[in-house]
Amino acid sequence: MTQTDEIFERVAEQIEPFNKKGVELSQATTFAGDLEWDSLTVMDFVAAIEDEFDILITMNMQAEIETVGQLVETIRKLQADR
């Protein structure tokens, strides 16, 4: 399993409790469009991701992230920077 795959698996686990519609997840899945999350769900989810990976995803970064793949890539970079 590559590093990206491993991060994806862990992200998918965090998405699960918020995935009310049981949407099939891929790198291309969008948070607003496919998962239909509102800002409050996003807030809770980001907090969960931050705690899972012990990182910070600032609101400035969040504004640029639309897909699961983009989130995985952001996490990979943040972990590499440490």
Partner 1 sequence: MTDAIDTPEDKTLADLPSPKGPHDLLAKFKPLIREREALLATGVRDPFAIVMSEVKSPTLAVIQGKDTILLGTYNYMGMTFDPDVIAAGKDALDRFGSGTTGSRVLNGTYQGHKECEDALKEFYGTEHAIVFSTGYQANLGVISTLAGKGDYIILDADSHASIYDGCWLGNAEIVRFRHNSVEDLDKRLGRLPKEAGKLVVLEGVYSMFGDIAPLPEMVAVAKKHGAMILCDEAHGMGFFGPNGRGVYEELGCEKDVDFVVGTFSKSVGTVGGFCVSNHPDFEVLRLVCRPYVFTASLPPSVVATAAASIRKLMHAGDKRAHLWKNSKRLHQGLRDLGYKIATETAQSAIIAVMLPDQEAAVALWQALLEGGLYVNLARPPATPAGTYLLRCSLCAEHSDEQVGQIIDIFAAAGRAVGCIG
By CB under 8 A, is residue 56 in contact with partner 1? yes
Output 46 or 72, the one with its CB closest to partner 1.
46
**Buried b / exposed e across 15-36, counting CB within 10 Å, b at 16+?**
beeebeeeeebeeebbbeebbe
Find the shortest distance in angstroms from Cβ 9 to partner 1.
20
Tell whether residue 63 is a contact of partner 1 (CB under 8 A). Answer: yes
Q: Which residues, including other chains, have CB under 8 Å from residue 22's CB and lie 6 or more apart?
A: none
> In the complex, which residues of this chain contact partner 1 (CB under 8 A)?
31-32, 36, 38-40, 42-43, 46-47, 50-51, 54-56, 58-60, 62-63, 65-66, 71
